[in-house]
Structure formats: C-alpha cells, structure tokens
Amino acid sequence: MHRKPRLAVFKFASCDGCQLSLLDCEDELLAVAGAVDIVHFLEATSRIEPGPYDIALVEGSITTPHDAERIQEVRRQSRFLMTIGACATAGGIQALKNWADHEDFLRCVYARPEFISTLETSTAIADHVAVDFELRGCPINRHQLIEVLMSLISGHKPRTATHSVCLDCKRRGTVCVEVAQGIPCIGPVTQAGCGAICPAYDRGCYGCFGPAAQPNCDSLTSQYLGTGSTRETLVPLLHNFNADAPAFRDAGNRLQQSDTPSSTGGRS
C-alpha cells in the first residue's frame, strides 16, 4: 500500500480566506484529512513536521524580504506546488501598492514607518518560483480545491475551467446585467469558477477570478466606453483583486493612459 501524500499549507500576505476554504469543506473535511497526511497547516493544526512535502498549497503574495526567501525554501521542499487564490496567483488586492508611492503608503498607515520592513511591491508566487498549478479566485472555490486535490491524490491531471463567467451566466439562466441594465460587467473577460454569482445578485462581475483564457479586455472596455461608461469606472474594475494579473494590469494601464478611447476595439 502506498503511503498517504504529505500535504502542507503555507500562508504569505493574505486574508486566510483561501486556506479557510479547505476548512469550509464541512462535509468532506474529515474524508480529505483521511486521504492525505496533513503535516503543516498552521491555521488548522499544531502538528508541524518538516518537509519534504508531496503537495504544498500556497496562499498569499510576496510583500516582504523575509517572505521572498521563505518561498524559495517552500519550493525546495515541495514536489507539487499549487498556488491558491488571487493573492498567490496575481499579488492580490495588496498589489495596488505596485502603482503607488511606497513611502507615502507607509506614512499613511504607520506612525513609525521605521518599524516596518516591507517590499515596494506585492507579487505573485510564480514571479519568484516555479508553480505547478494555479487555482484562481478571491476566494477560491472550495469544490475546485477538492477536485484538484483528489485528482492529484489519484494521479490524474487537475482540470479547472478556463472559460469566461459569461458562459456560466447563460447556464445559470441569469439575464445579462450589461445588456438589460447597462451595468458594466467584466464577466466576458473573467475566468469562470465563482458560479457567476454577481450578475445573479443584480450586479456586474468585478473579476475576482482573474482573466479568462485569451481575454480581449481592450475590446470590452472600448465597447463600454462607447455605451456611456467612463474610464474612471472601468479602470478600478480591472485594477482590484487581480490588479497585477498581466491581462488586467496591462488593459487597465492602457485605459488609464489613453486620452481618446478606441471606438473599434482591439488592442491598442
């Protein structure tokens, strides 16, 4: 009989929501815990064992010099490294500081900035080490997490959707909030996985699963500019929880910098 895979969960700059998703699998938690050997998961257990690990789940982004070193050690110890969530895959909401004056941010929040040691940027794990699989979302979808974990344990290639939220809206039978109500929605360029919840609650998608495969963000924003939306509304839709995902980052930057919106769409 094969031994159980050794599972470790690591946290970097984040809100803990993605690792909590594992504890939120109330129906499956004890079964998952029976299928793997949880040897490092600070939020859930005081049992702490050294590597090597078969599967490492990494939550959070790299924002301090210490963490930039720590992720190297996690990588060295891990056979299969999967990043979970928008922080780990795109720098998270804290990547908004990549657009800002770091000194100004420090002074704004801390009375004694000299006590704080932090990098000027918040970056994805893949910017620092090789990543074997990325699970998107802010937060991740716990059903996807279970599916990927079980695929790994049984030796199959993990499969998660890369199509856009739009398709899931259609499946769910949600009337398009953009077409029917004129609400700017970035579902057409956002990866599915959340269940297309925002339009089902009468609001536009704000992109928490990051860019879908081959998104045409410029075409979408040009269309919205043509129907009355402003850059002021559209840039924050791209620059929020996945602000530093390249497709959202670059499209948001172009939109911010352009004086006159392209009326024909396409990449400028």
Partner 1 sequence: MTESRSIRIEALTRVEGEGGLHIKLDGGMIEDVQLAIYEPPRFFEAFLRDRSLEEVPDITARICGICPVAYQMSAVHALEAALHVTITPEIRRMRRLLYCGEWIESHALHMHLLHAPDFFGVNSGIELAERFPNEVNRGLRLKKHGNELLEVLGGRAIHPINVAVGGFYRAPKRDELLRLIPDFEWGLQAAVATTRWVATLDFPDFERNYDMVALSHPNEYPMNEGQVASTSGLLIDVADYEGEFAEEHAAHSTALQSVRKSVNSCYHVGPLARVNLNFDRLSPLARRVADEIGFAPPCLNPFRAIIARGLEVIHAYEETLEILREYRPFKPPRVEYEYSAGEGCSATEAPRGLIYHRYAVNDDGKITFAKIVPPTSQNQRQIEDDLRDWLPDVMGDDDGQTALDCERLIRSYDPCISCSTHFLNLTVERTKS
Binding site for partner 1 (CB under 8 A): 11-21, 23-24, 26-27, 29-30, 33, 38, 42-48, 60, 63-64, 67, 92-94, 96-97, 100, 104-105, 108-112, 115-116, 118, 122, 138-139, 194-195, 197-198, 200-203, 206, 208, 233, 236, 240-241
> How far is the C-alpha of 80 from the C-alpha of 127, rounded, in Å?
17
Q: Give the residue with the Cβ less far from partner 1, 48 or 180.
A: 48
* Radius of gyration for the chain, computed over Cα atoms and rounded to the nearest angstrom: 20
Per DSSP bridges, beta strands 37-41 and 6-11 are parallel
Smallest gap from Cβ 168 to partner 1, in A, equals 14
> How far is the C-alpha of 215 from the C-alpha of 233, rounded, in Å?
19
Sheet containing 37-41, strands listed edge to edge, beginning at the edge strand earlier in sequence:
37-41, 6-11, 53-59, 78-84, 133-135
Q: Give the residue with the Cβ less far from partner 1, 181 or 227.
A: 181
| Residue 88 to residues 16, 17, 56, 70, 258, Cα–Cα distance (Å) | 11, 12, 13, 14, 30
Smallest gap from Cβ 205 to partner 1, in A, equals 9
Q: Give the residue with the Cβ less far from partner 1, 30 or 213.
A: 30
Q: Which residues pair with 55 in a beta bridge?
A: 7, 80
Smallest gap from Cβ 13 to partner 1, in A, equals 4
Smallest gap from Cβ 86 to partner 1, in A, equals 9
Q: Give the residue with the Cβ less far from partner 1, 38 or 150.
A: 38
